[in-house]
Amino acid sequence: MKNHMHHPLPNALRPSLAEALALADRRCAELGRRWTVSRQRALEILLEANGPVKVYDLLSSFKPGGLTAPATIYRAFEALVDLGMAHRIDSLNAYMARHFIDKAQATLLLVCDQCGRVDEVAPPTPALLTAIKAHSTFLTETVAVEAHGCCGDCRA
């Protein structure tokens, strides 16, 4: 991976902190979880980064706000995933803020192997879910589509 600069996402696609907090409240109530300082800080970090964030990179940079040990950070990020406000990107061992926080679960992530940029595009829900339903015995919890390749900027 050449560098860690990420292109800013159009503001229209970025969830405002307000929207995110509204979702957080709703989902915390539903799930019997709590909205805490650590989680809010973790969310802020993901939104600022505007791209994938790796746990141990956070540890080595000195982000203030109390997220100082691996376990703490993993817990905060996993909570955000549970609340539907972040993705875990398994192929990168990283977390990223969700843009489409109010849409269906299935999401398509385009991962550029050159520059590390990740684009979250509108979920291809119908086609995918149809394909999965064809396998009728399988009850889907989450669908993560991580497509790897090379983004336009890197090929230019």
Partner DNA sequence: AGCGATACGTTATAATATAACGCCTCGATA
Partner DNA sequence: TATCGAGGCGTTATATTATAACGTATCGCT
Binding site for a copy of itself (CB under 8 A): 90-91, 108, 110, 112-113, 119, 121-122, 124, 126-128, 130-132, 134-153, 155
Q: Which partner in a copy of itself, DNA, none is near 55 (CB below 5 to 8 A by kind)?
A: DNA
Q: Which partner in DNA, a copy of itself, none is near 146 (CB below 5 to 8 A by kind)?
A: a copy of itself
Distance CA 107, CA 57 (A): 25
Q: Could you say whether residue 27 binds DNA (CB under 7 A)?
A: no
Q: Which of 12, 18, 71, 156 binds DNA (CB under 7 A)?
A: 71
Per residue, the 3-state secondary structure of 70-132, as one string, reads: HHHHHHHHHHHHHCCCEEEEHHHCEEEECCCCCCCCCEEEEEECCCCCEEEECCCHHHHHHHH
Q: Which of 1, 17, 69, 131 binds DNA (CB under 7 A)?
A: 69
Count of residues that bind DNA according to CB under 7 A: 24
C-beta atoms surrounding 150 within 10 Å: 13
**In sequence order, what DSSP letters do the residues of 20-77 get, joined into one string?**
HHHHHHHHHHHHT----HHHHHHHHHHHHHTS-B-HHHHHHTT--SS--SHHHHHHHH
Is the Cβ of residue 37 or residue 122 nearer to a copy of itself in the bound state?
Answer: 122
Q: Which of 16, 70, 103, 153 binds DNA (CB under 7 A)?
A: 70
Does residue 85 contact residue 102 with C-beta atoms inside 8 Å? Answer: no
Is the Cβ of residue 79 or residue 112 nearer to a copy of itself in the bound state?
Answer: 112
Least distance from a copy of itself to the Cβ atom of residue 104, Å: 13
Is the Cβ of residue 30 or residue 90 nearer to a copy of itself in the bound state?
Answer: 90
